[in-house]
């Protein structure tokens, strides 16, 4: 493909595609700070983490996997360094 053809294709692409506006319409950081403040006022992170809703949101197979890991550690305590290494 010659350079003239490449320039023609580039011009056609520029004409067919509208220019993209990459700038933000407003600053998002104040909104994020407001949301962080709302969440921190609602409840403490520890209470949110161990609430019934948070525990119920974890799928059953995650609990089964955790039980399997705990049973494996109890059955084979010498595997603890392997588990810690793979974390």
Domain ranges of the chain: 26-56, 58-87
Round to whole Å and give the CA distance between 52 and 40: 18
For residue 29, the model assigns a pLDDT of 86
pTM: 0.40
Residues in the chain, overall count? 87
Contacts of 83 (CB under 8 A, 6+ apart): 69, 73
| Alpha carbon distance 38, 44 (integer Å) | 11
pLDDT, position 81? 92
Q: Average pLDDT by consecutive 10-residue portion of the chain (87 residues)?
A: 87 84 80 81 64 72 90 92 86
Closest listed residue to residue 42, CA positions, set 55, 29, 58, 51:
51
């Amino acid at each position: 493909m010659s350079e003239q053809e490449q320039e023609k294709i580039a011009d056609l692409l520029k004409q067919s595609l509208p220019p993209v506006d990459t700038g933000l319409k407003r600053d998002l950081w104040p909104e994020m700070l407001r949301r962080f403040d709302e969440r921190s006022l609602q409840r403490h992170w520890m209470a949110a983490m161990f609430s019934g809703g948070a525990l119920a949101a974890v799928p059953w197979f995650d609990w089964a996997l955790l039980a399997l890991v705990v049973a494996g550690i109890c059955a084979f305590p010498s595997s603890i360094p392997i588990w810690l290494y793979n974390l």
